[in-house]
Structure formats: structure tokens, C-alpha cells
Amino acid sequence: MKNKIWILLLFLSVMVPTAVHAQVQVERSKEIVTISDKQYYMHHVKRGETLYGISKAYQVTEAEILRLNPEINDLGLQAEMVIGIPLVTEEPQTVTPLPSGLPITDDDEFGEGYIIHTVKEMTKTRHLVKDWNVDENEFRQLNPSVGSYVFVGQKVLIPMAGAHPKTPQTTESQTVQMDSTIVNPNAEGGDTVLVEQPVECVASAENKNRQYRVALLVPLYLNEIDKLDLAKDKIEKTKNARALKFLQFYEGFMMAVDSLTEHCGLRLDLTVIDVNENVAGANAAVNQLHNESVDLIVGPFFSKSFAVVQDYALQHNIMIVNPLSERESILTNGPNVVKLKPSPQAMVTELATLIRQQYPKAKVTLLVEEGKHDHEIVNAVDRMLSDLVPREVQLSNAEIHDLIIRESQRRNMGKRVLSTLEVEGQVFSTKMLSENPDGVVYFDNPYQRLTLSDADMNVFKDGLSSARDNVLVAYGEDVVFATKILNNINKSTQKFPITLIGLPNWEQFDNLLVENLLNMNAIYFNDHFVDYNDSVVLKFVDDFRLKYESEPMEYAFQGFDVGWYFLNYLMQYGTQSVECLQDYHLPLFATRYYFDKRRREDGLENRYWNIYQYDSQTIELKPIMIHQEEE
């Protein structure tokens, strides 16, 4: 008898964890909306609530709730989900009118006079405003910190009084409308008044037939060429000479010029000027350009020289491209400046998109190098992850069952399978999981931030999950920090699925063991990345070798990208507004250009970061694409 009682208790101990949360008392929401003349409760699901309990509290059937909220079938009932419940009582309620036809999501909330909308996909602010069909000025008054883009996970306020369904369009526009500002000369009293005016970005075949004047201001240090020592024993040192450092940028740029001239009919008057960090050289360049009508300036590469030429470009309304500067100050009050290096803030946004797309159910931990805990970017990453990582995730019984099979194989059990397995503090029965594969299990998902000096790696490893991805976002600028992480966690990769994301510039740590990086599925962020598995890249390498008898390096690819992108742009859009670049995208070798501006009076900054990962199958770095081409 005692044996039977013990077996019964064991059986119950295995069963109980599958009912993850005890049922809680469901309270009716007082929040009611009207959609298409019908009233609905907006119920915010709390942890532990069940579909059965909700249906009883509102006196409606489970089938009716599922019919109105089909996402429950796909995602399961999750805490913090907002679902609609049909109003069936006769009790008097305060009703908030809500227009139909709006892009409302389950994460949206309703305030007094506005909707708190959670952005699902990164998009231009003007596109968001158009989707909701609200007045942009009213939107920006409610959201003063919003720039030209809204980002994944960001919450914005939609003015409810002005929101109304979009009017169907009967014709498709052939132009891209960009926001700009013009002066109204007919203002009363002779005053100058700024008026909002759309800029038409029109691609025209006529632009291809025009001749364009472009100035390339690149530091070639021609006065030092005759000082180079070309002796065989000095050749390696000579390769690093200033006179040769940026030569490949020029050569790559010319590869783009030659290709467009030969195959696309480009008509180009190109002026190349040797401008280094010397301000006198920049002034001389301005004097040389003064008598020419220039359509585009690329460079100078150094800050003091760039400032001189930037002033000239601003006075004459010429687009000027800065290829290498990381300083955001060059954009301030410079609407014609185009900055190609993305900012660290843009890296935070790209990281959010990566995790949301690729690792939506992951356990996420931020590991910070000692002494960097108050770094601006660390705090920005911390805030982003705190908002992005869900507090609870769910896995299907089938996923847990597959984990048990894999764990049995890892333990070399042959054809035998574990009868039970503990996962994140819960014990699961293999038999019960196989009998109910469509069931779901909820797991708490706390986000952690740890400073390496304070973190006990053994304690940290005890919190890893064997059932889902463990994403470690590591911020450190020291190779010792990176090595310590890899050495401490590498052995855990045999049991736990781990992905390491190294910030900000882990690609510079050349002496890290590739085997460890492979085991941890290491991911890097960089402002440039060349995929040598791409056949087009290999063709460029062959052509470059043939023409210049040297191996193309980083600046050769960057020079080609700049020439290819901006010369193609001129051939399509001519000398139209710089803002038209925001909707112009081309595949390039080392990066892509997705331009944005923070204020109307500022210049454009590229926000695209290359993301690439070690592939354990090919033992090579491969790009991760998180963006679709924007229309």
C-alpha cells in the first residue's frame, strides 16, 4: 500500500508543473470601446488567467472569444495581451468611441483622447501618420521626441479625436512625397513665413542624359610620393604610408565611374583634388571649385578641412558627402550634408530589430565590462532590452518533447528516452507531452544586466535555458573582457543554445579563438562587411587586381560603394532635394545606405549597421539581413 501511495505522489509531482499557473479570479474590465456600432470590453490579460476563467467572468463562450481574437490560436493566451470581449450586459458604461479601420494591434492601449500604439515594424514617421490618417502636427505635439522614423517596440501616442480610416486611393502616385520647407513670398505684411511643402522626388530618364560635375576631395598626399622607399625590404612599411592610405578609395571610386560610363552611359566631369587635414588645402580646393558649377562633393575626409568645404557647399546648395566621420555634429544645421558612418544610437535600434526578429523567445542577458556600466550606449541598450524582452514566454509541449529527445541523445542513451526532464525549474513528463503536443507551457522571462566584476559566472550559467535561445549581449572594449567571457561560457554551449552578440567593435579582436566563437554563434556589428562568398564581390576583386595590380582592401570597397550609389542617384534623380536619398536604396559591396534625419534643418545620416555571424557549418562569417528593401 505504501508503495502505491508513493507512486501516486510521484505521478502527481510530475503532473502538477504542467499546470504552470494556478487559476486566478478574473475581473471585468471597465474599459469599453465602440467598433462598427458594436461595444467591446478591452480586457488586459493578467498572469495566471485562463480562457475558461475569462469566458465565465464575461458570460460569453470560449469560441466567441477565439473568433474575435484569432491570435490566441497562434500565440496562446499570454499575460499583457489585450483582447476584445463582446459586451452582453445591460449595465450602463462609459463608452469611448473608436473609429473603425485603424491599424490597432493587441499591444495597443487606450488613454484619454489618444491611443498608445506599440510599433511593430520600423517605418518612417510620415508613413505611420499616413496609415492612421491623423494630422502630423497634432501627432508631433503629442510625440515631441519622435524623429523621421519610429522603431520596433517604441510607444507613440495617436490622437484619437483626429484618427479616422484612410480614404481608398483610386490612382497610384508616380512620385515619392518628402517633407520639406519653403518660403512663402506672398505672406501678408511682407513677412517671411515658413510653409510646409511636399518635395517631389521623380526619377526621370532625362537625368541619365545630363552631364554631371562631381568633385572628389581625397587625401592622396601627392607631395610625399617621391619620399616612398620601394626597396623590397621596406615594402611592408611603405604600404602603411600616408601617401597610399586612401589611394584605394580613389581607385574603388574610379571602378564605379568606369563601369557606369561604359555600361550605363554616365556623362561625368570629375575633378579630383588632393585635400588632407591641412585647412589651407581645403581653402585652395574651394577657390578651385568656385568657378565651377558642382553637383556633388565627396569629402574632404578630415574634420577641419571638411568644415571649410561644408560652408562652401551650404552657401551654394551642393550635396556634400562625408565618407568617414563618426561625429554627428557635422549634421547640425547642415541640410545638404550626407554622413555615411552610422551612429552608435542606430546600433541600438538595429540590435532591437535583430532580437525581435530572430530571438523573440530568448533569455536575454546584458554583460558589461567593468568600468563601462555608466556608458551612454550601455544605458541605451539596457533601456531598450528592458522594454523589448517579454516578461513571459510560451513554448509548446511538442518543443519540450523535442528537447527531451535531444537531451536523451546527448546523454548517449541509445534508443531509450528520458521519462522526465527539468526545464527552468519545472519538471515535465515525456508521456504527457507526447499525448498533448498542442498544449503550451509558460515560462518566466526576467531580463538581466550584469557587470562582469560583480557577476559569478557559475551562478549565471545556472540560469541558462536548455529549451530556448540564450542571448548574451556583451559590451566591452577590451580583448581581456571578451576572452574571459568566451572561456567561462564556452563549455556550456554543449548543453545550452547560446548566442553571443559582441558590442561595440568585437571584430577588432583578432586573437579570439574561432572555435569558441563558432560554439557561441557569435554575432558582430560593423559599419562595413564584405562577403567574399558573393560571386559579384569575387568578380570585383578580379577586376581590381587586373586594373591596379593590387589586392582590394576596405577603402577600395567603400570607394566603389560611394561612387556607385551617388552617381546612380544623379542619373535617376538629378540634382533634386537631398531628402530624396531617404527613399533610394541600392545593393552595395561593404554596406547599405538607409538615410534618416533627426531634425528638418539637419543633414542625413546613414543608420544601417552590418550584422554578421559565424556559421558553424561553413566556418565562415555570413551576413544577417534584418531589413527588407523599403519602398
The alpha carbon torsion through 454, 458, 462, 464 (nearest 10 deg) reads 80
219 within 8 A of 301, measured Cβ to Cβ: yes
pLDDT surpasses 50 at 18: no
Q: pLDDT tens digits, residue range 445-457?
A: 989 898 877 556 5
Higher-pLDDT residue of 629 and 93 is 629
- The boundaries of the domain holding residue 131 are 99-165
Residues 240, 212 within the same domain: yes
366 within 8 A of 450, measured Cβ to Cβ: yes
Q: How far is CA 304 from CA 220, 224, 283, 338, in A?
A: 17, 21, 11, 17
Residues 250, 114 within the same domain: no
Q: In the prediction, which pLDDT does 253 show?
A: 97
As a whole number, mean pLDDT of residues 218-240 equals 60
Q: In the prediction, which pLDDT does 227 show?
A: 52
Q: pLDDT tens digits, residue range 495-504?
A: 899 999 999 8
* Structural domain includes residue 621: no
Banded model confidence at residue 116, pLDDT cuts 50, 70, 90: confident
Q: pLDDT tens digits, residue range 247-261?
A: 999 999 999 999 999
Q: How far is CA 361 from CA 44, 267, 394, 405, 498, in A?
A: 21, 53, 8, 20, 13
At which of 490, 509, 526 does a domain end?
526
351 within 8 A of 525, measured Cβ to Cβ: yes
| DSSP-derived pairing of the beta strands 470-475 and 448-451 | unpaired
**Averaged pLDDT score across all residues of the chain:** 80
Residues 46, 85 within the same domain: yes
Nearest to 14 by CA among 452, 571, 420, 462: 420
Q: Is the peptide bond before 219 cis (omega within 30 degrees of 0)?
A: no
Banded model confidence at residue 241, pLDDT cuts 50, 70, 90: low
pLDDT surpasses 50 at 171: no
Q: In the prediction, which pLDDT does 230 show?
A: 46
Q: In the prediction, which pLDDT does 24 show?
A: 59
Q: In the prediction, which pLDDT does 590 show?
A: 94
**31: Cβ–Cβ under 8 A, 6 or more apart, which residues?**
41, 42, 96, 110
Residues 325, 261 within the same domain: yes
Residues 290, 305 within the same domain: yes
pLDDT surpasses 70 at 318: yes
pTM over 0.75: no
Residues 236, 323 within the same domain: yes
Q: Is the peptide bond before 390 cis (omega within 30 degrees of 0)?
A: no
Residue 464, C-alpha cell as written in the block:
541558462
CATH code for the domain of 38: 3.10.350.10
Q: In the prediction, which pLDDT does 251 show?
A: 96
* Structural domain includes residue 405: no
pLDDT surpasses 70 at 270: yes
**Low-confidence winner among 45-54, 422-431, 472-481 (lowest mean pLDDT):** 45-54
Higher-pLDDT residue of 81 and 171 is 81
Residues 277, 319 within the same domain: yes
As a whole number, mean pLDDT of residues 175-196 equals 39
Q: Phi and psi at residue 419, in whole multiples of 5°? A: -80, -30
Helices (H), ranges, 393-534? 397-410, 430-435, 457-462, 479-489, 514-519
619 within 8 A of 352, measured Cβ to Cβ: no
Residue 615, C-alpha cell as written in the block:
556559421
Banded model confidence at residue 60, pLDDT cuts 50, 70, 90: confident
Q: In the prediction, which pLDDT does 10 show?
A: 35
* Structural domain includes residue 314: yes
Residues 545, 463 within the same domain: no
pLDDT surpasses 70 at 239: no
Share of the chain above pLDDT 90, in %: 38
Q: pLDDT tens digits, residue range 26-38?
A: 888 888 888 767 7
Q: How far is CA 142 from CA 98, 100, 113, 179, in A?
A: 19, 22, 11, 19
Q: In the prediction, which pLDDT does 296 show?
A: 97
> What distance in Å separates the CA atoms of residue 471 and residue 502, rounded to the nearest whole number?
11
**237: Cβ–Cβ under 8 A, 6 or more apart, which residues?**
229
Residues 514, 560 within the same domain: no
Q: Phi and psi at residue 388, in whole multiples of 5°? A: -80, -45
Nearest to 141 by CA among 152, 127, 131, 129: 129
As a whole number, mean pLDDT of residues 509-525 equals 86
* Structural domain includes residue 149: yes
As a whole number, mean pLDDT of residues 352-364 equals 92
62 within 8 A of 72, measured Cβ to Cβ: no
Residue 599 DSSP class: S
pLDDT surpasses 50 at 625: yes
pLDDT surpasses 50 at 226: yes
* Structural domain includes residue 255: yes
Report which residue type is found at 474.
A
Banded model confidence at residue 117, pLDDT cuts 50, 70, 90: confident
Residue 168, C-alpha cell as written in the block:
481608398
Residues 221, 352 within the same domain: no
Q: In the prediction, which pLDDT does 67 show?
A: 76
Q: In the prediction, which pLDDT does 536 show?
A: 93
Q: In the prediction, which pLDDT does 152 show?
A: 67
pLDDT surpasses 60 at 360: yes
Banded model confidence at residue 195, pLDDT cuts 50, 70, 90: very low
Banded model confidence at residue 102, pLDDT cuts 50, 70, 90: low
* Structural domain includes residue 409: no
The CA-CA-CA angle for residues 567, 573, 578, to 5°, reads: 85
> What distance in Å separates the CA atoms of residue 206 and residue 175, rounded to the nearest whole number?
15
As a whole number, mean pLDDT of residues 132-147 equals 75
Residues 368, 510 within the same domain: yes
Residues 260, 323 within the same domain: yes
* Structural domain includes residue 300: yes
> What distance in Å separates the CA atoms of residue 62 and residue 71, rounded to the nearest whole number?
14
Q: In the prediction, which pLDDT does 530 show?
A: 93
pLDDT surpasses 60 at 611: yes
Residue 95 DSSP class: -
At which of 165, 195, 223 does a domain end?
165
Q: In the prediction, which pLDDT does 97 show?
A: 46
**Low-confidence winner among 58-67, 444-453, 576-585 (lowest mean pLDDT):** 58-67
* Structural domain includes residue 190: no
As a whole number, mean pLDDT of residues 331-355 equals 92
CATH code for the domain of 258: 3.40.50.2300
When divided into structural domains, the chain yields a total of 4
Banded model confidence at residue 285, pLDDT cuts 50, 70, 90: very high
pLDDT surpasses 70 at 287: yes
Banded model confidence at residue 4, pLDDT cuts 50, 70, 90: very low
pLDDT surpasses 60 at 510: yes
